[in-house]
Structure 1
Amino acid sequence: MLEQTEDDGQWKPYVMDFGLVREQDSAGVTVSGMTMGTPAYMSPEQAIGDIHRLDRRTDVYSLGATLYELLSGHLPLGECMGMEMVRRAIDREPVPLHKVAPGIPRDLETIVMKCLEKEPERRYDSARAFAEDLQSYLDGTEIKARPISLFHRLYKRAKRQKAISITFITALIIVLATIGYGLHLKWQANYQAKITQEIGQKTGKIDSILSKSYLMPLHNTQKEKKIVEDMVEEIKNLGNEVKLAEGPSKYAIGRAYLELNDLSKARNYLEEAWNVGYQNADVVHALGMVFGRLYQRELQQAEHIQKKEQREARIQEIEREYRQPALEFLKKSQGSNAAEQAYIKAQIAYFEKQYEEALTKTKMAYKEMLELYKARQLEADIYVQLGNEKKSTGLYDETKKYYEQAENSYDEAIKIGRSDASIYEGLCNLQLLRMGLPQINVEEYFKKGLHICEQALQGDPESVGAYSLQSSLLYRMGYLEMRLGKDPRDSLLRSIEKAWQALRIQPKHAEAYKSMGEAYKNMAEFKMNHGEDPRDSLKKAINALQNAIEINPNDDRFHDLLGRIHKTYAQYDMTRGNDPQESMQKSIVAYQKATEIRPDFAGAYNNLGNAYFYDAEYKINYGKDARDSLKNAINAFQKTINLNPHNSNSYLNMGNPYLLQATFEIEQGEDPRDSVRMAVQSYQKAIEMNHPYLNMPYNNLAEAYQVSAMYELEKGLDARASLENAKKFCQEALTINPNLFYHYLAQGRLGILESRWQKKQGKNPDDVINQAHQTLEKAVQLNPESADTYCEIGELYRWQAEFLITEKRSATKEIT
Structure 2
Amino acid sequence: MIVPVDGDEPRVDAPPWPRRGRDDATVTGPAAPGASPAAPGASPAAFEATPAAPEATSDLGLGEESRRAAAPSSIPPSPIPPSLHARFEDFHLLGRGGMGVVYRARDLRLGRRVAIKLLSAGAQIDGSFLREARSQARLRHENVCEVHEAGVADHVPFLVMRCIDGPSLQDARGDLTLEEKVRVARAIAAALHEAHRLGLVHRDVKPSNVMLERGTDGAYRPYLMDFGIAREAGESGPTLTGALLGTPAYMAPEQAAGRVHALDRRTDVYGLGATLYALLAGRPPFTGGTVMDVLRQVLEADAPPLRTLDRDIPQDLEAVVMRCLEKQPGARYESARALGEDLQRFLDGDPVLARRASLGRRLARHARRHRAAVAGAAALLLTALVVAGLLVRGQRAAAEQANLARELGETVKEMELFLRAAHAMPLHDVERERDVVRARLGAVEARMATAGEVGRGPGEYALGRGLLALQEPRAALDHLRAAERAGYRSPGLDHAAGVALSELYRRALEETRRIRDPAQREARIAALEAEYKAPAVRHLRAALGGAGEAPAHGAIEAPAYVEGLLAFAEGRHDEALERAREAFAAAPWLHEAKKLEGDVLFALGSRHRHDAAAFDFDRMKGYFDPAAEAYRIAAEHGRSDPSVHAAACELWTQTMNAAGKRGDSMRPSFERARAACERALEASPRSPEALVKLAWVHNCFAWWAASGMQPGEDAEAALRAATARAEAALERSPDDAFARYVAAAVARARAYHADMLGRDQREDLERAIQGYEAALQREPDFAWALAELCSVHAELGRHDSLHGRDPSRSFERAGARCDQVLALDPGLDGARTSRLVTGVYEAEHLVRAGRSPEEAVQRTHRVIEAMHQKDPSWGWAPYWRVWLDHALALHALDAGADPGPALARVRASALEVAPDATAFPESLRAMLAVLEARAGVARGEDPSPSIRIAREALDRQIAVAPWDVSDRLQRAEVELLAYRWSAQRGRPDAARLDAALAVLDPLLGGQRADGGQRADPRFPALLAEIHEARAAHRADRGGDAAADIAEGLRHADAALGLHPRFDRALVAQGGLWLLRAAAAPGAAARREAARRGVAALEAALLANPLRARTEGARLAEARRLAGQAPDPAAP
Same fold (TM over 0.5): yes
Correspondence for 1:742 among 957, 962, 966: 966
Q: CA RMSD in A?
A: 4.3
Q: Is the 8 A contact 2:923 2:954 kept in 1?
A: yes
Deviations 1:217-236, CA, capped at 9 Å, x for gaps: 32321122112223444555
User: Is residue 2:773 matched to residue 1:552?
Assistant: no
In the TM superposition, residue 706 of structure 1 has moved relative to its aligned partner by: 1.6
Deviations 1:87-129, CA, capped at 9 Å, x for gaps: xxxxxxxxxxxxxxxxxxxxxxxxxxxxxxxxxxxxxxxxxxx
Q: Give the AA of the match of 1:711.
A: A
Q: Is the 8 A contact 1:295 1:318 kept in 2?
A: no
Correspondence for 2:629 among 402, 408, 415: 408
Provide the secondary structure at the position in 2 that maps to 1:412. Answer: helix
Provide the secondary structure at the position in 2 that maps to 1:435. Answer: helix
User: Is residue 2:433 matched to residue 1:224?
Assistant: yes
Q: Give the AA of the match of 2:728.
A: Q
Distance 1:291 1:710, change over 3 A: farther
Q: Give the AA of the match of 1:664.
A: H
Deviations 1:504-561, CA, capped at 9 Å, x for gaps: 4444332222221111222233334434443443343333333322332221222223
Q: Distance in 2 between matches of 1:594 and 1:369?
A: 48
Q: Which residue of 2 aligns with 1:588?
A: 815
Distance 1:606 1:251, change over 3 A: farther
Q: Is the 8 A contact 1:339 1:368 kept in 2?
A: no
Deviations 1:681-716, CA, capped at 9 Å, x for gaps: 66677779999xx99x42233123322332232133
Q: Is the 8 A contact 2:516 2:824 kept in 1?
A: no
Correspondence for 2:591 among 373, 382, 394: 373
- Superposition pairs of residues 211-610 of structure 1, within 5 angstroms: 211-235=420-444, 249-270=459-480, 281-297=491-507, 319-320=525-526, 322=528, 325-326=532-533, 329-330=536-537, 332-335=541-544, 336=547, 340-392=558-610, 393-436=614-657, 437=659, 438=662, 440-482=664-706, 483=708, 484=711, 487-598=714-825, 600-610=827-837
In the TM superposition, residue 377 of structure 1 has moved relative to its aligned partner by: 1.1
Q: Is the 8 A contact 2:561 2:580 kept in 1?
A: yes
Q: Is the 8 A contact 1:302 1:311 kept in 2?
A: no
Q: Distance in 1 between matches of 2:875 and 2:465?
A: 47
Q: Distance in 1 between matches of 2:927 and 2:782?
A: 37
Q: Which residue of 1 aligns with 2:1051?
A: none
- Superposition pairs of residues 726-765 of structure 1, within 5 angstroms: 726-759=950-983, 764-765=988-989
Q: Distance in 1 between matches of 2:558 and 2:580?
A: 10
Distance 1:792 1:240, change over 3 A: farther
Distance 1:587 1:439, change over 3 A: closer
Q: Which residue of 2 aligns with 1:99?
A: none
Q: Distance in 2 between matches of 1:558 and 1:687?
A: 32
Q: Distance in 1 between matches of 2:403 and 2:510?
A: 43
> Which ranges in structure 1 are unaligned for 5 or more consecutive residues?
1-176
- Superposition pairs of residues 666-677 of structure 1, within 5 angstroms: 666-673=893-900, 675-676=902-903
Q: Is the 8 A contact 1:281 1:334 kept in 2?
A: yes
Distance 1:570 1:267, change over 3 A: farther
Q: Distance in 2 between matches of 1:189 and 1:312?
A: 52
Q: Distance in 2 between matches of 1:651 and 1:274?
A: 62
Q: Which residue of 2 aligns with 1:700?
A: 924
Q: Give the AA of the match of 2:436.
A: I
Q: Distance in 2 between matches of 1:558 and 1:351?
A: 29
Q: Give the AA of the match of 1:408.
A: E
Q: Which residue of 1 aligns with 2:200?
A: none
Q: Which residue of 2 aligns with 1:768?
A: 992
Q: Is the 8 A contact 2:427 2:682 kept in 1?
A: yes
Q: Give the AA of the match of 1:258.
A: L
Q: Distance in 1 between matches of 2:442 and 2:780?
A: 33
Distance 1:202 1:789, change over 3 A: same
Report which of the two structures shows the higher radius of gyration computed on alpha carbons.
Answer: 1
- Superposition pairs of residues 74-153 of structure 1, within 5 angstroms: none
In the TM superposition, residue 413 of structure 1 has moved relative to its aligned partner by: 1.0
In the TM superposition, residue 772 of structure 1 has moved relative to its aligned partner by: 2.0
Provide the secondary structure at the position in 2 that maps to 1:773. Answer: helix
Distance 1:681 1:468, change over 3 A: farther
Q: Distance in 2 between matches of 1:279 and 1:195?
A: 14
User: Is residue 2:1011 matched to residue 1:793?
Assistant: no
Q: Is the 8 A contact 1:652 1:686 kept in 2?
A: yes
Q: Which residue of 2 aligns with 1:75?
A: none
Q: Distance in 2 between matches of 1:261 and 1:478?
A: 31
In the TM superposition, residue 747 of structure 1 has moved relative to its aligned partner by: 0.9
In the TM superposition, residue 743 of structure 1 has moved relative to its aligned partner by: 0.5
Q: Is the 8 A contact 2:893 2:899 kept in 1?
A: yes
Provide the secondary structure at the position in 2 that maps to 1:508. Answer: coil
> Which ranges in structure 2 are unaligned for 5 or more consecutive residues?
1-385, 549-555, 1008-1013, 1046-1070, 1073-1131
Q: Distance in 2 between matches of 1:664 and 1:736?
A: 31
Q: Which moved more, 1:425-434 or 1:266-275?
A: 266-275
Q: Is the 8 A contact 1:267 1:287 kept in 2?
A: yes
Q: Which residue of 1 aligns with 2:218?
A: none
Greater RCO (CA < 8 Å, at least 6 residues apart): 2
Identity %: 20
Deviations 1:366-385, CA, capped at 9 Å, x for gaps: 11221221121122223333
Provide the secondary structure at the position in 1 that maps to 2:804. Answer: coil
Q: Which residue of 2 aligns with 1:207?
A: 416
Deviations 1:621-673, CA, capped at 9 Å, x for gaps: 33445444333434445555666677888875564334323323434555445
Provide the secondary structure at the position in 1 that maps to 2:940. Answer: coil
Q: Distance in 2 between matches of 1:213 and 1:274?
A: 30
Provide the secondary structure at the position in 2 that maps to 1:363. Answer: helix
Deviations 1:701-747, CA, capped at 9 Å, x for gaps: 31233223322321335645543433332233223222211111111
Q: Is the 8 A contact 1:200 1:252 kept in 2?
A: yes
In the TM superposition, residue 568 of structure 1 has moved relative to its aligned partner by: 3.0
Q: Is the 8 A contact 1:431 1:448 kept in 2?
A: yes
Q: Distance in 1 between matches of 2:903 and 2:430?
A: 63
Distance 1:687 1:559, change over 3 A: same
Q: Distance in 2 between matches of 1:742 and 1:617?
A: 15
In the TM superposition, residue 456 of structure 1 has moved relative to its aligned partner by: 2.1
Give the helix-richer structure, 1 or 2.
1
User: Is residue 2:611 matched to residue 1:611?
Assistant: no
Distance 1:485 1:546, change over 3 A: farther
Distance 1:227 1:192, change over 3 A: same
Q: Is the 8 A contact 1:648 1:690 kept in 2?
A: no
Provide the secondary structure at the position in 1 that maps to 2:558. Answer: helix
Distance 1:598 1:646, change over 3 A: closer
Q: Distance in 2 between matches of 1:188 and 1:725?
A: 93
Q: Distance in 1 between matches of 2:402 and 2:431?
A: 32
Distance 1:371 1:624, change over 3 A: same
- Superposition pairs of residues 48-59 of structure 1, within 5 angstroms: none
Q: Which moved more, 1:280-289 or 1:217-226?
A: 280-289
Distance 1:178 1:765, change over 3 A: farther
Distance 1:213 1:322, change over 3 A: farther
